[in-house]
Amino acid sequence: MKQKERIVRALEQFSTAMLAALGYLPAAGLVLAAGALLASAGLGSVAPVLRWEPLALAGSLAYDGMMAIIQNLSVVFCVGIAAFLARKEKQQAAIIALLSYLVFLTAGHTTLEQMGRLAAPDPALGMYGTGQAVVLGIQTVDMGVTGGILLGFLTGWVYNRTSGKTFRPAPLRIYGGVRWSFLCMAGLSAALGLAACFVWPPVQRAVDGLTGWIAAAGEMGLFLYGFLERVLIPTGLHHLIYIPFQFTSLGGTLTVGNQVYTGAYAVMMGEYSLGLPFSDGIRWMYIGFTKTFGYFGIVGAFIFCARPENRRRTAAMLTPLLLTASLASVTEPLDFLFCFLSPVLWLAHGVIAGAFMVLLDLCGVTAFTGGLVSSFAMNLSAGASSTHYPLLYLLAAAQIAVYFVVFTLLIRTFDLRTPGREQPAPAVPPAAPEDRFPFHALVAALGGRGNIARVDNCLTRLRVWVEDPGLLDRKALRELSPDGLTCQGREVQLVFGFDAEQLRRQLDAVLEKTALSPPV
């Protein structure tokens, strides 16, 4: 039983740490969606006012600024997870995580450089398809967000075990505490960066080797193409799936006079500009279909499965991310809300995405699928006879319905912790000024100031670790948090809704002012 409790607690810590790192993405998604609308060429053709230079500049600033966050989510995960896991002086853990990440990137770059394996960027594609990426200006192995997540958890674990280290010899005292944590992490980060250069490339080559089979396997290959393009997103390996088809001869070629178009993307745009019928290579561009339409069903299921009192807040949080996916084809903010926390949903997501790519091909759809507004404008201009876009939108409605039904069934069957399925939040926000919320009564119910070892929070819960669970006044705690109380060993969780973070900050301030005395 204790082993099961430890596993459950570890999984809960993993999920809350991941969500903590993603806390800013709903706001970033709102700005990104607004920028995508203002900067949309397709929408500009419908609403000429959007071509006004100041508006276009504002849209580009908003879009590019938020994309800088999306493109560096690995850094965000590394710093955010480490800060969340730190038991004290979280800002120190965050700084150490950032420094460690720089060491990790540089170790990978130096190893590749010394081995003569640094890839040369393609003039058109940059580093896409090479298995390497430029992160914070440093070229290294492309691990997607996986490297940042691993390093974030490693930093948090090491920091909690080393930040209290002291050295007796006077000359060495300066290297104790958080400096010792940094020294430990510097060595581990360098080792991890070195190892990535040997461990990750074979994985990349295995994925890259699938592309030949995919191209020759007909509809089964197309299904696997769509499945892997979604499922591999957290690892960064999805680039190795779609890049060869969209930008090399594997995706087809088109020769018109002296002009040769190579790759599914170039062929599609060449056929569009010349008014030619679309060729079969357009099937490799179908990955935009799920990004544009499928996430409506996913978000709808999340909102529907949320607790009734949480649905409005869940919708407010997810709608900007949905707009970002549908308008700008940037799905990572939504993907990372459930890909790690609910693997069964993530696998279902890949299956549905792949299956509908096959359906589009079998139905003879040759329409633009990337971006809701831009694809609609291009489909209208190309005409229904060339694109069969009416059938595209019928299949889009079907995909939305399939996502909604499948995700709803899986969430409810397995009681998955998707957004909004936390314990009910109180009708009246409790995070009020100190003189209105009884913080001192809360401290007393927790056994007194001396019994409180650590205070933290997740999205909706205040989490407190106590020295002696026997000193807890559970009756008083239930009165202070009537919407949810959980006591597991030394950990106490009190449900306060989305105001949990604000309440935790105020409680920290109260604890700092309260004299530390032994528990009574």
Please confirm, yes or no, whether 339 is among the known catalytic residues: no
The DSSP bridge partners found for residue 139 are 134
Do 290 and 353 meet the contact criterion of CB atoms below 8 Å apart?
A: yes
Tokens at residue 78, please?
């590394």
Scan for tokens 């080797």, then name that residue: 209
Scan for tokens 């965050």, then name that residue: 94
Other beta carbons within 10 Å of 24? 12
| Catalytic annotation, pick one of 78, 184, 339, 458 | 458
Do 417 and 15 meet the contact criterion of CB atoms below 8 Å apart?
A: yes
CA count, 13 A, side-chain hemisphere, 503: 28
Beta carbons within 8 Å of 171's beta carbon, 6+ residues apart: none
Alpha carbons 301 and 360: distance in angstroms, whole number: 23
DSSP class of residue 229 equals: H
The alpha helices in 383-458, defined as continuous H runs, are: 384-387, 389-414, 439-445
Scan for tokens 């060339």, then name that residue: 386
DSSP class of residue 423 equals: S
Nearest to 339 by CA among 195, 238, 223, 200: 238
- Strands 485-488 and 461-466, sheet pairing: unpaired
Residues with active-site annotation: 458
